[in-house]
Amino acid sequence: MSRNENPTVTAAASDGTGHLDQDGLLPQLVAHLREHRTRLRQEWARRIQEAHLLQAMTSQEMTAETTLVYDNYVEVLETGSVEALQHYARDLSERIIPRGVETNEVVGIVLLLRDVLARSLFEKYQRDFSLLNRVLDAYEPAANRIANTVAVSFVEERERVIRQQQDSIRELSTPVLPVRERLLILPIIGVLDRERARQLTVQLLSGIRTHRAKVVVVDITGVPDVDESVANHLVRTVDASRLMGASVIITGLSPEIAQTLVTIGVDLSKMNTIGDLQGGLEEAERLLGYSVARDDGVGGP
């Protein structure tokens, strides 16, 4: 954007003393943007389509959202307060993130709007360069702040969604289920990372205490892979369980995991492992002194 044609005016306007002028200019600018609202908004929507942004949205939605964004944008220019915009941006992000809208698209459309509006200002004031300079000096910091606010709100919202999902995964991920008196099973599904392994330990050890468990079957059929630190953590968890008087049976070690563990040399000699969950439960019942027998007269389970 050509705004440095007249360096002396720029300097004068940008050093604090230009505030009086800017105070007068912004309302004028806002009035201009309000007056040409429809035309500018359509121009903006056309630019968005040209840039192939926001293709996840239908044209009606686009119209509705661009109108709202436009009004919010002008309002921020007028009041200088970004709070309402922040709120709106977060709200908007909440609606569009599930549709797969990316950060670059959101930033892209805001920058397009900034560009469209700057061009219209340029057109309007191009006859008077010093005035144009002062208008842009008033407009640009506010526009930058708006772009910044929208981008930050979008990213924050996105992070919030990610955190929320992580939390719910965490809650769901390690259930401790009592199957018989003093027998617990812990089915583990999904990748075991350090954080989950740590959480598993906490759940397992406190589960042993609350349920007074003597035997725990940890089923890792659903775990695709483990690395060395997680494997060592598992071994330590098994040791700690033993200190609390419970024996741990690990079931469902996949061939890949077995191979990994042997290759990286984790000491599993103290681990009691059994092929599948069924075998693990049978072994656990044997350890606890249960004997399960089927009634022969009944036609099966």
Site stretch for other proteins (CB under 8 A), options 41-49, 103-111, 215-223, 235-243:
235-243
Binding test (CB under 8 A) with other proteins, winner from 241, 261, 271, 274: 241
8 Å CB contact between 108 and 51: yes
Touching other proteins, residues 163-222 (CB under 8 A): 201-202, 205-206, 208-209, 212-214
38 is an interface residue for other proteins by CB under 8 A? no
Measure CA 53 to chain center.
21
239 is an interface residue for other proteins by CB under 8 A? yes
* Closest distance of CB 264 from other proteins, Å: 18
Query: Which CB, 29 or 215, lies closer to other proteins?
Result: 215
Strand order across the beta sheet in which 272-274 lies: 177-180, 183-189, 215-222, 247-251, 272-274
Site stretch for other proteins (CB under 8 A), options 84-92, 121-129, 241-249, 290-298:
241-249
Structure tokens at 133: 């300079």
Measured CA to CA, the distance from residue 215 to residue 180 in angstroms comes to 10
Q: Which residues contact 27 (CB under 8 A, 6 or more apart)?
A: 78
Binding test (CB under 8 A) with other proteins, winner from 110, 246, 274, 284: 246
From 143, 156, 148, select the one nearest 90 (Cα to Cα): 156
Q: What is residue 218's DSSP assignment?
A: E
Touching other proteins, residues 256-295 (CB under 8 A): 270
Point out which residues bind other proteins (CB under 8 A): 201-202, 205-206, 208-209, 212-214, 236-237, 239-246, 270
